[in-house]
Amino acid sequence: MKRKLNILIACEESQATCRAFRRLGQNAFSCDLFDCSGTSFGSDIANPHPEWHFNHDVSTVLDRTNLILQNGSQAQIEGDWDIMIGHPPCTFLAVSGAKWMYDPRDKDKPIEERRPHPSFPNRRQDQEDGANFFMFLAKANIHRIAIENPVGVMSSRWRKPDQMVQPYMFGDPYSKGTCLWLKNLRPLHPSKETEDHGERIYFGSGKSQPKWYSDGLTKTKSKEERQKWRSKTFPGIARAFAEQWTLQVAAELDLFSDEELRIIGQDYLQLIDKLTGGIKYRSAKVNSLLEKKRMPRHLDSALLSEVERREQALITYWADCK
C-alpha cells in the first residue's frame, strides 16, 4: 500500500480490533477510559500494547487536544482518521437490560405510569446518557464510521442497523447478535464461516443462553469484570473489520501497488457492492428511503467465494512480504 490507514477504535480496552488492523500494517489506535488489557475473548492471556492506546476521553482524541498514549508518548498521526470503529457501552442501551428500567410491581401498568426500578432509580438517565454518547460517536467528524452494539434502543431512537452479524459468520463457534451502524462503509460479508454456533445452557423455564455468556457470570468476580468479559470483540469479527475495510478503503483511495491491484482485481469494489448492496448511509442523518434498503438476505455463493479468494490472496501476499 502507498500509505498506512489511520484507524481509531473507540471504547476498546481489549485491543482486539486494534491488533487486527496492526497485523495488517495499519496505523491503528485503541481508546478507552481503562488502561489496555490486551486480552482476547475467552482468554486471560494478556498482550497489551500501551504504545497504541489512548487511556482517556475519546473526545480529546477526536479534537486532537490530547494525543498522549498510555505509555506517555505522543501518537504520530499524519492526516485525518480514515476509519473510526466505536464500541459504546451497551449496559443501558441493550434490550437485555430493559427489565431493570421499571419497578417489577408495575409490569401491568402503561409505561407512562410505571415507577423507576427501586434498585436502579437512575436507569432512565443512564440510558439517556448512553444514547447521547452513542450519537456523539455516530456524528463524529470522520468520513467512515462503524458503530457496534447489541440489539437495543438505538434502532428506535435513531435508525435500524445496517446489518447484524454473528461470530460464527467469521469462524468463531459462538452466537451473539451484533448490530452495525455504518457510514461510508460497506456491510461485512461472511469469511471463514463455521456451522458450529456454540454450546448453549438450558434452564428449567425452557429458556437458554450461550455458554460463553453464562461463563461470564461464573468466571468473573465483579460487575466491571463481567462488563469487560461480555464486551470483548470476538477475534473473527475483529479480523473481518480489519481485513475487509482495509482492503475496501485502500481500493477507494487508490492505495494499492500494481501487484496488489493485480491480486485484488480492478473490479473488486464492484464485486463487493454486487455482493452486499454497497454503501448505504453517507451521513448520520436518517433517510426514510434508505431505511428500506437492505443488505441481500441470501448472498451469491459463487460471488462470495471469489471475493473471499481474492481478499485472502492479498492478505497472504502481505504476510509473505513481511
Average pLDDT over the chain reads 90
Over range 94-99, report the average pLDDT: 68
268 CB-side CA count, 13 A:
26
Cα 209 from Cα 292, distance rounded (Å):
31
According to DSSP, residue 216 is labeled H
Do residues 38 and 57 touch, judged by C-beta distance below 8 A? no
Topology of domain 6-198+233-321 in CATH is: Rossmann fold (3.40.50)
Q: Is the pLDDT of residue 202 over 90?
A: no
Q: Which of 214, 224, 215 is nearest to 37 (CA)?
A: 224
Q: Is the pLDDT of residue 98 over 70?
A: no
> What is the reported pLDDT for 296?
87
Q: How would you classify the pairing of strands 27-31 and 208-210?
A: unpaired
Do residues 10 and 85 touch, judged by C-beta distance below 8 A? yes
> What is the reported pLDDT for 53?
98
- Is residue 198 classed as helix, strand or coil in its secondary structure? coil
Cα 38 from Cα 50, distance rounded (Å):
9
The model's pLDDT over 253-278, given as tens digits with 9 standing for 90+, comes to 999 999 999 999 999 999 999 999 99
> What is the reported pLDDT for 215?
67
Please name the amino acid found at residue 259: E
Q: Is the pLDDT of residue 229 over 60?
A: no
Do residues 60 and 121 touch, judged by C-beta distance below 8 A? no
Q: Is the pLDDT of residue 72 over 80?
A: yes
pLDDT tier for residue 231 given thresholds of 50, 70 and 90: low
Q: Is the pLDDT of residue 212 over 70?
A: no
Q: How is residue 152 written as a grid cell?
A: 437495543
Neighbours of 308 (CB within 10 A): 18
E strands in 69-195: 83-86, 145-149, 163-165, 178-183
Cα 10 from Cα 53, distance rounded (Å):
10
Q: Is the pLDDT of residue 118 over 80?
A: no
Over range 295-322, report the average pLDDT: 95
Q: For the chain, what is the largest distance between any 2 Cα atoms, rounded to a whole number of angstroms?
A: 67
The model's pLDDT over 156-185, given as tens digits with 9 standing for 90+, comes to 999 999 999 999 999 999 999 999 999 999
Which contacts (CB < 8 Å, 24+ apart) does range 270-278 have?
Answer: 271/303, 271/306, 271/307, 272/186, 272/189, 272/248, 272/307, 273/186, 274/300, 274/303, 275/189, 275/299, 275/300, 275/303, 275/304, 275/307, 276/186, 276/187, 276/188, 276/189, 277/187, 278/186
pTM for the model: 0.90
- Is residue 34 classed as helix, strand or coil in its secondary structure? coil
Stretch among 120-129, 284-293, 305-314 having the lowest mean pLDDT: 120-129
Cα 20 from Cα 235, distance rounded (Å):
8
Q: What is the CA radius of gyration of the chain?
A: 20
The model's pLDDT over 182-199, given as tens digits with 9 standing for 90+, comes to 999 999 999 999 998 888
> What is the reported pLDDT for 41?
79
> What is the reported pLDDT for 245?
98
Residue positions counted in the chain:
322
> What is the reported pLDDT for 172?
94
